[in-house]
């Protein structure tokens, strides 16, 4: 029996990586999935990428933003525009394997409780071999899905469109630096599962191109505090706030950078807004999620 393949939307977010984007688009042109929508969102690029995106052929839908809205704003723009049952997000220096698209569709069709997945992201520079697929056709068990409290990495991820609508996509204030973790928390709080799937392969070019590590550090430190205040159970919150400030103080002393203090102050400025959005997880669920302190303080 032939499977009824649902529409899949691939959202490609581009910002100032012109050469990388061309490589990603070339892979996307080779996909064989029979019901595919491809959307390229340019996030206010200034390196010629926007002009390239504007001139793409009809198989690509294009959205040109007049300024950089961050990963949160850019991905949300593409997600909202997507019309597929499943939305796959990739950065302009990443792509998923052709076979992984088919396997992801089967996975979401099998498990209605699944809200989002991360593909296994290998380093394009070391591990990609054109024409050779590393995606395996393995079974994901109901137990794995039920225990799916993973934090998704949006540079190569897939989401159920109806779940994105239910949780209202991203909070644009997160910009980038943990914004995908915030989306994962919202899905988990809504009762869905999020899962890293090792046998579904994607590739991500691990380079420093167009990455401002100081800004990423500041955003991550700020966003970690916002996530704690929105999702940590009241019983667990004091201990986690103590841990957060311990990490913060140590980073300030060891790295002698004022950006940690400015990140903390920036977080406080929007504290009332974040508290109004509070959707605390249960203690049991919270303790099954690995909270990403290290993400913020190791950059």
Whether the predicted pLDDT of 210 surpasses 90: no
pLDDT reported for residue 214: 82
pLDDT reported for residue 256: 74
pLDDT reported for residue 299: 46
Q: Is the dihedral of CA 128, 14, 206, 209 positive or negative?
A: positive
pLDDT reported for residue 1: 34
pLDDT reported for residue 252: 87
Class of domain 8-204: alpha beta
- Residues 277, 186 contacting (CB under 8 angstroms): no
Q: Global pTM?
A: 0.94
User: Using one digit for the tens of pLDDT, what is the confidence trace for 42-82?
Assistant: 999 999 999 999 999 999 999 999 999 999 999 999 999 99
User: Using one digit for the tens of pLDDT, what is the confidence trace for 139-189?
Assistant: 999 999 999 999 999 999 999 999 999 999 999 999 998 999 999 999 999
Q: SS3 for the chain, per residue?
A: CCCCCCCEEEEEEECCCHHHHHHHHHHHHCCCCCCEEEEEEEECCCCCHHHHHHCCCCCEEEEEECCCCHHHHHHHHHHHHCCCCEEEEEECCEEECHHHHHHHHHHHHHCCCEEEEEEEEEEHHHHCCCCCCCCCCCCCCHHHHHCCECCCCCCEEEEEHHHHHHHCCCCHHHCCCCHHHHHHHHHHHCCCEEEEEEEEEEEECCCCCCCCHHHHHHHHHHHHHHHHHHHCCCCCHHHHHHHHHHHHHHHHHHHCCCHHHHHHHHHHHCHHHHHHCCCCCCHHHHCCCCCCHHHHHCC
Q: Where are the domains of the chain?
A: 8-204, 213-297
């Amino acid at each position: 029996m032939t499977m009824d393949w649902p529409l899949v939307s691939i959202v490609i977010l581009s910002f100032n990586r012109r050469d990388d984007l061309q490589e990603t688009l070339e892979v996307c042109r080779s996909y064989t999935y029979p019901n595919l929508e491809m959307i390229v969102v340019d996030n206010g690029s200034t390196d010629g990428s926007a002009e390239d995106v504007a001139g793409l052929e009809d198989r690509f839908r294009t959205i040109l933003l007049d300024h950089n809205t961050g990963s949160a704003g850019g991905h949300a723009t593409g997600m909202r525009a997507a019309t597929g049952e499943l939305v796959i997000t990739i950065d302009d220096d990443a792509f998923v394997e052709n076979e992984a698209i088919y396997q992801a569709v089967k996975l979401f069709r099998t498990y209605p409780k699944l809200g989002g997945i991360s593909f296994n992201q290998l380093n394009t520079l070391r591990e990609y071999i054109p024409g050779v697929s590393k995606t395996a056709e393995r079974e994901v068990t109901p137990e794995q899905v039920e225990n799916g409290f993973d934090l998704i990495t949006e540079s190569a991820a897939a989401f159920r469109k109806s779940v994105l609508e239910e949780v209202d996509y991203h909070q644009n204030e997160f910009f980038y630096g943990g914004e995908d973790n915030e989306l994962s928390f919202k899905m988990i709080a809504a009762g869905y599962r999020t899962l890293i799937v090792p046998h579904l392969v994607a590739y991500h070019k691990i380079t420093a191109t167009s990455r401002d590590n100081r800004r990423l550090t500041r955003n991550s430190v700020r966003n970690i505090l916002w996530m704690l205040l929105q999702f940590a159970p009241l019983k667990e919150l004091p201990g986690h706030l103590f841990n957060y400030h311990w990490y913060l103080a140590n980073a300030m002393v060891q790295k002698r950078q004022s950006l940690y203090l400015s990140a903390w102050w920036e977080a406080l400025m929007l504290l009332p807004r974040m508290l109004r959005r509070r959707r605390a997880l249960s203690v049991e669920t919270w303790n099954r999620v690995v909270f990403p302190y290290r993400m913020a303080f190791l950059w």
